[in-house]
Amino acid sequence: MQKMEHHRSSNGPRGFRVQAPLVESASCYCKVDSGLKTVAEARKFVPGSKLCIQPDINPNAHKSKTSRRERTRVQPPLLPGLPDDLAIACLIRVPRAEHRKLRLVCKRWCRLLAGNYFYSLRKSLGMAEEWVYVIKRDRDGKISWNAFDPVYQIWQPLPPVPREYSGALGFGCAVLSGCHLYLFGGKDPLRGSMRLVIFYSVRTNKWHRAPDMLRKRHFFGSCVINNCLYVAGGECEGIQRTLRSAEVYDPNKNRWSFISDMSTAMVPFIGVVYDGKWFLKGLGSHREVMSEAYDPETSTWTPISDGMVAGWRNPSISLDGHLYALDCRDGCKLRVYDEASDTWNKFIDSKLHQGSSHALEAAALVPLNGKLCIVRNNMSVSLVDVSSPDKRVESNPHLWENIAGRGHLRTLVTNILSSIAGRGLKSHIVHCQVLQA
């Protein structure tokens, strides 16, 4: 265990820091945290860019010989009989699945887990866990979501999506700072296109408000580059229906700014960040298929029509400098883009065809613990080890693993019964992201 020392900050509460080499790595990973207000508590709340908020640490909390006056001021220890630094060293090792219970123990534990320091320390020590968050639309058009814990292979409950997005269409979804999931824009069935931006924090397990976008839009493209959120194109009700405008949100500055307009108006249906650029493919004003690439260094858009775009299919993802895409409806095959030949080549064939129904359709491809994670509409999950030199599934059974956690089988049975009844499965996944905590 790393040696820890107590200190009192000159401009804040008592805390502790980990000595080198962890002082730098224990800095704040999520800029927005102190004083967050939930969506229900504030109609418009602009979060600030605060420095890392360390927990209240009392180095004398474990000592019994203190004056009566001091005992009234001193907080109880995090764990009886232990200094707070050792107590935190124990708490950061608790599995993420139990963090919801830890917040309920007492106010000090709740504040500890809601601050940056707890998760910064978990990340610096390699203890942070990644979960898959799936946002789904049911047959009635309502939005719901769940989190998949790959360690226990179960779906964890989450607080309901705010009412503004309970039935919205064409909204964006992205992750900033690794632990904040943003929902933005979209079209409300009653109010039309929105500029609204909200985010869910894994530390507080609540939804919070962020600054609105500069332009109302829905069915647009979005991506994250250097922890900044980019949006472009889409539609907006009015005379100028298809949009060319684009904008970026910087969480450090906590504001949106316009960037260069796209070459032509577009409604994107697929996008990926590859080789430092943002590639978009969509429909133009006259419903023609078109593609563009944005370079954030020069803030310029360039039309593209090479082999990468021609053979590009959704879902796709960029991981460790390689661009991957699924090659069958249920995600049983994987292709990789070869930049030298400007072609898409066969990469891995799982030999495990799931079926061609809408329920089994692969809806998302996301990175999870260094592997590619395929998520289907029936909530089944497959993990692909793209780093393995042996690409034959027959000789490498761990190359392609189909996970059947609790909830998957129940969903599959529901889908089968629904198909027998003639109704079919109308629910589908609209967004899928990975958050770390």
- % of the chain exceeding 70 in pLDDT: 78
273 phi, psi to nearest 5 deg: -95, 120
* pLDDT for position 36: 53
Alpha-carbon dihedral 415, 417, 418, 424, rounded to 10 degrees? 70
Of residues 78, 36, 22, 23, the one with CA closest to residue 55? 78
Of residues 103, 121, 98, the one with CA closest to residue 15? 121
Q: Which residue has the higher pLDDT, 417 or 97?
A: 97
For residue 123, the SS3 value is helix
Dump the DSSP string for 150-162: TTTTEEEP-PPPP
Q: What pLDDT digit, counting tens, does each position of 77-109 carry?
A: 999 999 999 999 999 999 999 999 999 999 999
- % of the chain exceeding 90 in pLDDT: 64
> Which token pair is 10?
């000159």
* Residue 54 pLDDT greater than 50, yes or no: no
Q: What pLDDT digit, counting tens, does each position of 10-35 carry?
A: 343 344 443 333 333 333 333 334 44
Of residues 275, 281, 273, the one with CA closest to residue 312? 281
pTM: 0.82
Residue pair 69/104 in contact by the 8 Å Cβ criterion: no
Q: What pLDDT digit, counting tens, does each position of 100-141 carry?
A: 999 999 999 999 998 889 999 999 999 999 999 999 999 999
Average pLDDT, the chain: 82
**pLDDT tier for residue 362 given thresholds of 50, 70 and 90:** very high
Q: Checking DSSP bridges between strand 143-149 and strand 154-156, what pairing results, if any?
A: antiparallel
Neighbours of 85 (CB within 10 A): 18
**pLDDT tier for residue 403 given thresholds of 50, 70 and 90:** confident
Q: What pLDDT digit, counting tens, does each position of 178-199 carry?
A: 999 999 999 999 889 999 999 9
Residue ranges of the domains in the chain? 4-124, 132-158+348-437, 163-305
Q: Which residue has the higher pLDDT, 359 or 432?
A: 432
- CA–CA distances in Å: residue 294 to residues 246, 247, 305: 10, 12, 14
* pLDDT for position 39: 53
Span between the terminal Cα atoms of the chain, in Å? 21
Which amino acid would we find at residue 132? V
Structure-token match 């979804």, residue found: 173
Residues 117, 16: Cα–Cα separation, whole Å = 10
> Which token pair is 14?
């008592």
Superfamily of segment(s) 163-305: Kelch-type beta propeller (2.120.10.80)
* Residue 297 pLDDT greater than 80, yes or no: yes
* Residue 310 pLDDT greater than 60, yes or no: yes
**pLDDT tier for residue 2 given thresholds of 50, 70 and 90:** very low
Among 66-80, 206-220, 400-414, the least confident range = 400-414
- Degrees (nearest 5) of the Cα angle 32, 115, 62? 160
* Residue 262 pLDDT greater than 70, yes or no: yes
Residue pair 371/386 in contact by the 8 Å Cβ criterion: yes
Q: What pLDDT digit, counting tens, does each position of 147-177 carry?
A: 999 999 898 889 999 999 999 999 999 999 9
Residues 425, 427: Cα–Cα separation, whole Å = 6
In 286-390 the beta strands, taken as DSSP E runs, fall at 289-295, 300-303, 316-319, 322-326, 333-338, 343-349, 362-368, 371-376, 381-384
